Structure 1
Amino acid sequence: MRITATKTRFCHQTWQLEAQIQLVQHNTEATYLVTDMTPFHPVSHIWPDHPADKGRLKASGATFEVIDCQVGAIELSTGELYVGTVIPVKRDAEGWVFVVVHVLSPTEAIKVGESILLEVDKEYQLSLSRGHSAGHLAFLALNKVLSEGYWRKDADRKDAHGNYDFNSYAQETSFVTPDKCLDTYRLGKTLRKRGLNSADMLSDLKSIEQQVNVLLADWLKRDVVITMDCHGEHLTDSRYWMCDLGEGKIAVIPCGGTHASHLSEFGSIQVQLLEIDAQIVEMHTNVTR
């Protein structure tokens, strides 16, 4: 059977679809399943900020839990599947296709060529989508607040609103969980050289937190959609988060995750900024519905 790159539907508010099995691979711990299309979002092997979707599939009258979902790459000349961090090539490498790998408990009951029904856990995906979109809104708000007095010289990087991009410079990790996002920032020597008054930021952290939360509350009053601009239907095609927050420019952020579709999906977004030590700040973003 000819194997093609997975067509993705996780940015299309699609939680169930029929698909054809293109590849099944077994090991002692799991069965890997690749289909021609999927509504499941896999965890990225490069920047694993957004967890894999949960859900199930139905085949031949039986139901199987999808216990994980990962990115895979298949070498077309050999049919060899590489999963997650062992993928040896970059996206769009010649002779390779990137796929979504549905991970099941070991089973011999599913065969290549079968048509199956894939069903994402909708509520779980929506909770991750809210958490991820809230993280974007929070860092845009933080960037804006810090741009108003905490940089002593012009920064080369600007965010989608034209503010100094503290998030891009300082972010070390970002992790999405249901209705939450945790970002970790490092305020090191390099960032100070670029112009951030990090000592002032730390001393004013609670005031900054309050200003960020006021700005988020103002943004959430807007009757505005959040859209995903997908430049293709495959896993490796670029996708962009877009929202008009009334800042003069529409916010456009490259992002491969799933997201809320409207600001009305948030009752509130509250940020807490925590000084872990002299160089590390955490931003905890929490959603209420």
Structure 2
Amino acid sequence: MTLPAADTRVTYPAGELEATARVVHVAPAGDGRLAIITDVTSFHPVDAAWPDQPADTGTISVGGAELAVRDAVVAATDGETLALGADIPVRKGTEGWAFLVAHLVDDGAAIAEGDEVVIRADAATRRSLSLGHTACHAASLALNQTLAGRWSKPAREDPLGNPDFDGIAIASSRIEPNGSVDRYRLNKSLRRAGFDVAGLADDLAALGDTVTQTMAGWAAAGASVHVERDGDLLTDRRRWVADLPPGVARIDCGGTHVASLADMAGAQVSFELDDDQGTPVLSMRTRVRADR
């Protein structure tokens, strides 16, 4: 079968859950699964380069049958081979490569190239992950604001003009249903850059309270959120945009989000400090009430 020559068109950045599409390629994905690639999709996939947000859950309907999508990942092809997820050998957007969304379904599914299908992402899963991702960004900005006084040297600034602790120290970020976990390495290079870690371990409860209160203020203000995008293709640049009381914040992001920080009302942020082979690691856990 012919490998696609164009990037997948994606509708999830606009909040779409359903898309009518045409199958452009079907390939074995291993582990008893098939990779179904369509010209357009409403499914958010896991990105191999920054796999912070899990894939949507949902179905593909074809010929009266409904196939469960077991996972969705970014794939890429140079016209000769198809690589999935972590096996992609080039960076997204590399010239001569098409970047695609691969929907993984059970092997043996009755689906073929050329079939017209309806793709449906589960609304509850999408909302819970969107809540978690929006809260993650808001918490990172609130954290930067709270820690601004700990910098003794000029540092790269975040979108609100505060030293960008989150962007400088981040080691990993994981979006979860109705929350997120971010881990920051408080290593020697961070301290040499002017960040003071003294007494931080004794102030974790107060740090959590302050970040929580900042987010509560932004939620009470009903700060609006949207995804700004340069185009509808998977590789087109996208940004999370929030109209916060301190100013408009833009953060590069390929995930999904809710439309207002009012949905963050009641969010709680907490911190832990542990050790990774001699390097202190600060973990920030953000939780949003599931009934929002």
Q: Is 1:45 the counterpart of 2:48 in the alignment?
A: yes
Contact 1:159 1:165 (C-alpha < 8 Å) held by counterparts: yes
- Residue 59 of structure 2 corresponds to 56
- Residue 146 of structure 1 corresponds to 147
- Residue 93 of structure 1 corresponds to 94
Q: Deviations over 1:133-183 (max 9, x none)?
A: 101000100100100x2112221x110100000001111111011001000
Note the residue ranges of structure 2 that are not aligned, 5 or more in a row: none
Question: Which of 250, 268, 271 is the matching residue for 1:270?
Answer: 268
Contact 2:3 2:77 (C-alpha < 8 Å) held by counterparts: no
Number of aligned positions between the proteins: 284
- Residue 108 of structure 2 corresponds to 107
Structure 1 segment 27-42 matched on structure 2, within 5 A: 27-28=29-30, 29-42=32-45
User: After the TM superposition, which of the residue ranges 50-59 and 204-213 deviates more from structure 2?
Assistant: 204-213
- Residue 123 of structure 1 corresponds to 124
Question: Which of 251, 254, 257 is the matching residue for 1:253?
Answer: 251
Q: Deviations over 1:73-99 (max 9, x none)?
A: 0112x2x21101111122222321000
Shift of 1:271: 0.3
Shift of 1:265: 2.2
Contact 2:178 2:287 (C-alpha < 8 Å) held by counterparts: yes
User: After the TM superposition, which of the residue ranges 221-230 and 59-68 deviates more from structure 2?
Assistant: 221-230
In 2: Cα distance, 1:54 partner to 1:260 partner: 17
Shift of 1:209: 1.6
Letter in 2 for 1:250: V
In 2: Cα distance, 1:152 partner to 1:27 partner: 51
Query: TM-score under structure 2 normalisation?
Result: 0.94
Letter in 2 for 1:70: V
Query: TM-score under structure 1 normalisation?
Result: 0.95
* 1:199 counterpart SS class: coil
Note the residue ranges of structure 1 that are not aligned, 5 or more in a row: none
CA pair 108-133 structure 1, distance change in 2 beyond 3 A: closer
- Residue 18 of structure 2 corresponds to 16
In 1: Cα distance, 2:185 partner to 2:3 partner: 47
Shift of 1:108: 4.6
Letter in 2 for 1:226: V
Letter in 2 for 1:114: D
In 1: Cα distance, 2:161 partner to 2:96 partner: 39
Structure 1 segment 119-268 matched on structure 2, within 5 A: 119-147=120-148, 149-155=149-155, 157-247=156-246, 249-268=247-266
* 2:241 counterpart SS class: strand
User: After the TM superposition, which of the residue ranges 158-167 and 194-203 deviates more from structure 2?
Assistant: 194-203
Contact 1:150 1:197 (C-alpha < 8 Å) held by counterparts: yes
In 2: Cα distance, 1:194 partner to 1:27 partner: 45
* 2:208 counterpart SS class: helix
Contact 1:7 1:234 (C-alpha < 8 Å) held by counterparts: yes
User: After the TM superposition, which of the residue ranges 203-212 and 182-191 deviates more from structure 2?
Assistant: 203-212
Letter in 2 for 1:152: S
* 1:138 counterpart SS class: helix
* 2:13 counterpart SS class: coil
RMSD: 1.3
CA pair 153-200 structure 1, distance change in 2 beyond 3 A: farther
User: After the TM superposition, which of the residue ranges 269-278 and 49-58 deviates more from structure 2?
Assistant: 269-278
Q: Deviations over 1:175-215 (max 9, x none)?
A: 01100100011111111000111123223222222111111
Shift of 1:2: 7.3
* 1:14 counterpart SS class: coil
Moved over 3 A (4+): none
